[in-house]
Amino acid sequence: MIVLIRQPGISFWKGTNNKGIHLVNWKKVTSPKQLGGLGIRKARDANTCLLGKLVWDMVQSTNKLWVNILTSKYSKGPNILHATRTSNSSPSWSSIIKAKNILCNGYQWRAGSGSSSFWFQNWSSHGLIGSLVPIIDIHDIHLTVRDVFTHNGHHSQALYTILPPTIADSINNTSFRFNDRVEDTFIWSYNTNGVYTAKSGYSWLLCNSGSVNNQQPSFVWSWIWKLKIPEKFKLLIWLVCHNAIPTLSLLHHRQMAPSATCLRCGEDEESILHCLRDCRFSSQSWLQLGFADNGFFNEGTAHNWIKTHATRALSSLFLAGLWWTWRHHNSMCLSNDSWSLPHIIRNIHHTVADIENAFHEVPGQHAERMIRWNNDNYGCVVLNVDGSCLGTPIRTGYGGVMRNSAGFFLEGFSGSIATTTDILFAELTAIHRGLSMAIEKGIEVLVCYSDSLLSIKLLNNSTSRFHAYAVLIQDIKDILSSRNFSIHHCLREGNQCADFMAKLGAASNEEFVRHTSAPYDLLPLIRIDAMGTAFPRALASSFFLFFFPFVPFLAL
């Protein structure tokens, strides 16, 4: 049995007989899985994130008894993010404040109605603006954030008060969207829905502390955890890829073994690749399984060797082979028990059958659905919209096409978004721009199709008041409720013209372009849609299973 032990300064995988060795350092073990770790949370940080749930309860002023008691006893202002610890604070309050001080930079002010005081509420990243000026002009004292930010021209020109130049610059380069139905609030900025969770708190801490290096692409490690094999196989592969299985080469390097030479064959140093592939006690199994080509035995690093063969055809056979080669090595070296080749091959084939049964879908259970433009046959003006986030560096854009029910092009639009790489924002912007254009054109009845299921859900249901885009969502809802406009979800296959326009927008530097005639390259797609061409869409059987009603199990 192996237990994970943490001691001050050092950490290791340790056998229960107290003779374990350090295989992978603690910092690596506690990194997220996609960055090469095991995703184990550090106890101290995990505790901070759980305390963060209490901070969140206080930020949103839930009407809980403990929130009311602590707020009235310790918190002077309405906002816990400014609260401090005093000498007579209880241990509970001290812990909450400690967690708040660590997490408070993850919160940000989100504009709603804009009715917050420009001077005396903490809406900017500079702190209270009122505290940054020696005197506030009497004409400005009651100004709200909205009063200043809806001023035409430079926002700072709305004021009689002189602001410090850096603050004035920052304000002039900031813009907000306002909607009277949405309240100004603090939101948790690391979740788009604005709601704090312990999980997002932990991710934010990792990013903020610099322990997560976002430079490294996640595919370097995430392939291991996507493999459809038992967890113990993944752990072995993870150790191999970290050069951390206790081969004689590693033990000798750490002066824990007198020699690095393989005890089984005595022919070579027992490196990881020798142990798992090249030693004649291992290679005979691989050859018997049919892995005989030169490339198989020539790959120079264990990481590449395993990744190449684990993500190809015959991956189950390869992975089962890897597992039993390691087990055979251990059996020979630790128990002095050598297995016959047929015994190993039989074990491997049994394991392959188990993996196939447990993890792989039965083929041939896919249903097909035909998808085309305006799939629901609406007889009014049809607007298709889409967002796009593609490329390195990522470019964000949006676009849409408005047609009559026969598929005749009426008008299109496209644009790029420089401020974000969030696809949800691009999708919502596309919807808002498209609907606004329809209003300008005086269209009375319209259906809008978007392939963003999340956007449709946000627009058709009540939205969290903390959502980062709550104002934009409310603006769209206001348009939809005041006119004979409706919004529907469509699949990608029925939204190809909008997809074209969104990519056109992302590739441009224009913030918004109206297209009164269809771009030349769009014409074939328009023709295909107008002819009612249908495209097949494969749907996995699990999709249907999800919608079957489950019969409740009644205990007798």
Binding site for Zn ion (CB under 5 A): 262, 264-265, 279
CB nearer Zn ion, residue 264 or residue 467: 264
Phi, psi for 369 (deg, rounded to 5)? -130, 140
For Zn ion, which is the closer residue by CB, 171 or 344? 344
Closest separation between CB of residue 265 and Zn ion, Å? 3
Spatial separation of the C-alpha atoms in residues 525 and 405, rounded to whole Å? 16
What are the two backbone dihedrals, phi and then psi, of residue 417, each rounded to the nearest 5 degrees? -120, 115
Residue 285's contacts (CB-CB under 8 Å, 6 or more residues apart) are 321, 324, 325, 328, 341, 344, 345, 348
Which residue, 423, 496, 417, is CA-closest to 455?
423
Q: 290: which 2 tokens?
A: 């049919």
Shortest distance, CB of residue 359 to Zn ion, whole angstroms?
32
CB of 367 to Zn ion, least distance (A): 52
On whether the CB atoms of residues 498 and 430 are closer than 8 A, the answer is yes
Cα–Cα distance for residue pair 12/4, rounded to 1 Å: 7
Centre a 10 Å sphere on the Cβ of residue 356 and count the other Cβ atoms it contains.
15
59 or 262: CB nearest Zn ion? 262
Q: Where are the beta strands (DSSP E) in 418-452?
A: 445-450
Q: Which 3 state secondary structure label does DSSP give 183?
A: coil
Bridge partners (DSSP) of residue 187 are: 108
**Shortest Cβ 365–Zn ion spacing (Å):** 45
Give the residue with the Cβ less far from Zn ion, 195 or 265.
Answer: 265
Partners of residue 108 on adjacent β-strands:
187
CB nearer to Zn ion: pick between 109 and 305: 305
Residue 121 or 325 having the CB closest to Zn ion: 325
Minimum CB–partner distance for residue 274 and Zn ion (Å): 6
Tokens of 38: 């095991």
Render the burial of 416-454: b for 16+ CB within 10 Å, e for the rest: bbeeeebbbbbbbbbbbbbbebbeeeebeebbbbbbbee
Q: Which of 291, 469 has the CB closer to Zn ion?
A: 291
Least distance to Zn ion, CB of residue 336, Å: 15
The tokens describing 433, both together, are 């721009």
CA 186, CA 323: separation in Å to the nearest integer? 51
Q: Pick between residue 262 and residue 522 the one whose CB is nearest to Zn ion.
A: 262
Tokens encoding 142: 């009651």
Closer to Zn ion by CB, 55 or 262: give it. 262
Collapsing DSSP to helix, strand or coil, 123 comes out as coil
Give least dist CB 250 to Zn ion, A.
15
**Measured from the CB of residue 267, what is the shortest distance to Zn ion in angstroms?**
6
**Least separation in angstroms between CB 244 and Zn ion:** 19
In the numeric block, the tokens 């630790």 are attached to 334
